Amino acid sequence: MLALFKNTLFLTFILTSLSQCQNQKTYSSKTFKKIEQNIKNQPIAKRISQWKKLSQSDSLTTLQKAYIYFDLANDLQNTNQEKMSISYYQKALEIFESENKDEMTAKTLVNLGISHAFLNHKNIASKMIIKGLKIADRLNNNYIKSRAYGELAHLYYLNNDKKKAIDYLKKAGDMYLQMKDTSALSAVYNNIGIIYKEQNQPEKAYEYTLKSFYLKDSLEDPFSLIESYNNLGALSLLYKKQPDTARYYYNKALQLAKRNQLKPISVYENLADLYHETGQQDSANYYLDKALASNPDNYKEKMHLYDLKLRYLLQEKKDTEALHILQIKDSLSKLNETEFNKEMEKSIENKLRLLSKEKQLDQVRIINKKNQIIFMFIAIIFLLGLLISYQLNRLDRLNFKQEQFKLEQKVLRSQMNPHFIFNVLSSIQSSLIDNNPILSATYLSKFAQLIRQNFEFIQKKSIPLASELQMLRNYMDTQKFRYKDKFDYQIKVDKNIDQNECRVPPMILQPFIENAIEHGFKNINHKGTLCIKVIKKENYLCFDIIDNGQGYHPKKDHKEHALDVFKKRLLMIGKDAFDSFSIENLKQGTKVYFCIPDDFDEN
């Protein structure tokens, strides 16, 4: 595969005279410029170590340090060490901005964007480049503008908008042509050739690659020449079907890289492809391992190399080794997502190299595979358990709601049975016949309110205690009217109970009031009395319902009575509520007692 190279940004610094620091001798502008140029003439590997050493010197001014950081970052970028280059570009940027060096600020922003782009930080890269482009526009600096256009093309390329990428590259190329910047123009032609190649336009790809090569050959720039030799080799193989020519160009690129102490990852990769296509798998694996050993910062490039390695192993039917590479890929993918540091990345690759030397590697892979199967089995069982638990819980909730609905219907039917309605209406009719319209209107109003409350409350899970007691008053007043004042009642509530704040299940007391009136006061020779007490005990509301009727004598049959419905309602409220319930026969009458939590509210 044809890999995209980065061209080096060549800078000429125009330094102003530097002041002398107090009690410390600093380099003059002329001396600093000479030192900087001498380092730039060294091979890039030596330059990096010398930039780092010089950046620690106490003889540099703050601004001079910024230039050294910038030079170091450029060389780190050119050797595929993007993460380290970003840290040094950032240091340089802070100084250039504080010193109001707009031109260097713009250049640093653009280069910083380039490093972020190669790490696939597209949003950060575009912000940096656009910010640098705005400063270059204000300065009318065509060189920085053209470089920014080139890097915007790179971002469009990463987003797979290759048409816009070519447009921006050609725009940058026109500016480089006007400025007679042969090196930069060559890089632009090379990148255009790469994109045309990916768009399956071999003639245009070869045309622009040759244009790039002729320009670079005259400059003898090692980075650019390596790039062109590499791309010419790829085009010769893919479109000219000339493997020997391709190998010639790749070897030229390797010789230049070795001379300049570089690790050309894309050349290794292309050589691996060449030998793979020509059936020389040992050589293909050798160069692919060389590319992996170069340890690129770019996760996308690293994942691509492991993909090739995986493909080669599968074609050779080396399934165990392929499984191990797949595990490494998974580890790298996780590192990319969580932005682990470079040391963690290196430790994974070191572990891979260590495992490859161990004689028991095959056994380790088998154990890992078994562990994976066991883990998957446990995970499936766990997920099935969760699913079954969820479904059972859901079924319990549905059954609970269904039981609640049934209880609500039973409560409603017990309150609004036809016999009760008929008897009340008959009593009201009798009062009208007796020519007592005021009394009739009063109790007709209470009866209407009682019916409305029944239909309203039965649809709710809880109501205020005050509403429950008001409904009971309407019910007992209606019954008193019906039975011609055969009984009296009283309701006593503790003063420390807020009747509007405390909530209770609707019509929770009514079954016992009805039982006392309909059965307890039946066939008695004295006036009946009903006493309802509501008291507070710790965190509970407790109810006493006392009558002086003929006592509690339950029927023994297989029908479900109001008391059975009441007990089910208590059980749904909670075990403590259910356990608190009791019915006691007194010397004269009955006492019912139960408690519910004072924070009851199911709405």
Output helix, strand, coil percentages for the chain, rounded to the nearest 5: 70, 5, 25
Fold of 1-180: 1.25.40
Confidence at residue 361, expressed as pLDDT on a 0 to 100 scale = 59
On the question of pLDDT at 2 being above 70, the answer is no
Give the separation between CA 383 and CA 77, rounded to whole angstroms.
47
Residue 160's region, left for phi above 0, alpha for psi from -120 to 50, else beta, is: left
Confidence at residue 8, expressed as pLDDT on a 0 to 100 scale = 33
In a 13 Å sphere around the CA of 474, the CA atoms on its Cβ side amount to: 20
Give the separation between CA 161 and CA 146, rounded to whole angstroms.
19
Q: Which of 99-103, 114-118, 362-366, 409-413 has the lowest mean pLDDT?
A: 409-413
Give the separation between CA 337 and CA 339, rounded to whole angstroms.
6
Give the separation between CA 506 and CA 151, rounded to whole angstroms.
73
Dump pLDDT digits (tens) for 271-311.
888 888 888 888 888 888 888 887 666 667 777 788 887 88
157 contacts 195 by C-beta, under 8 angstroms: yes
Structure tokens at 602: 């199911």
Q: Which of 282, 203, 291 is nearest to 1 (CA)?
A: 291
268 contacts 290 by C-beta, under 8 angstroms: yes
- 487-493 and 528-537 as β-strands: parallel, antiparallel, unpaired? parallel
Structure tokens at 386: 């969760």
> Is 162 or 544 the better-scoring residue by pLDDT?
544
Dump pLDDT digits (tens) for 547-560.
999 888 877 766 76
- Mean pLDDT calculated for residue range 257-274: 82
416-597 is classed CATH 3.40.50.1370: no
> Is 182 or 512 the better-scoring residue by pLDDT?
512
Domain ranges of the chain: 1-180, 416-597
Local confidence band at 28 (pLDDT 50, 70, 90 cut-offs): confident
CA 159 to chain centre: 22
CA 244 to chain centre: 51
Give the separation between CA 350 and CA 344, rounded to whole angstroms.
10
DSSP 387-424: HHHHHHHHHHHHHHHHHHHHHHHHHHHHHS-HHHHHHH
Q: Which of 129-138, 220-229, 331-340 has the highest mean pLDDT?
A: 129-138
308 contacts 288 by C-beta, under 8 angstroms: yes
pTM of the model: 0.39
The answer for residues whose C-beta is within 8 angstroms of residue 248's C-beta and 6 or more apart is 233
On the question of pLDDT at 543 being above 90, the answer is yes
Give the separation between CA 15 and CA 438, rounded to whole angstroms.
110
- CA torsion, ordered 438, 439, 440, 445, to nearest 10 deg: 90
126 contacts 113 by C-beta, under 8 angstroms: yes
47 contacts 39 by C-beta, under 8 angstroms: yes
125 contacts 298 by C-beta, under 8 angstroms: no
Give the separation between CA 147 and CA 113, rounded to whole angstroms.
11
Confidence at residue 331, expressed as pLDDT on a 0 to 100 scale = 76
249 contacts 227 by C-beta, under 8 angstroms: no
Residue written as tokens 């908008």?
161
Dump pLDDT digits (tens) for 444-503.
777 777 777 777 777 788 889 999 999 889 888 888 888 888 899 999 999 989 999 999
DSSP letter at 596 equals E
In percent, how much of the chain has pLDDT > 90? 18
In a 13 Å sphere around the CA of 253, the CA atoms on its Cβ side amount to: 28
89 contacts 109 by C-beta, under 8 angstroms: no
- Mean pLDDT calculated for residue range 406-416: 53
> Is 516 or 357 the better-scoring residue by pLDDT?
516
Give the separation between CA 552 and CA 515, rounded to whole angstroms.
9
DSSP 143-169: HHHHHHHHHHHHHHHHTT-HHHHHHHH
Collapsed DSSP state (helix, strand, coil) of residue 587: coil
- 589-597 and 540-547 as β-strands: parallel, antiparallel, unpaired? antiparallel
Q: What is the tally of helices (H) and strands (E) in the chain?
A: 24, 7
Angle between helices 102-118 and 62-78 (to 10 degrees): 30
Give the separation between CA 525 and CA 588, rounded to whole angstroms.
12
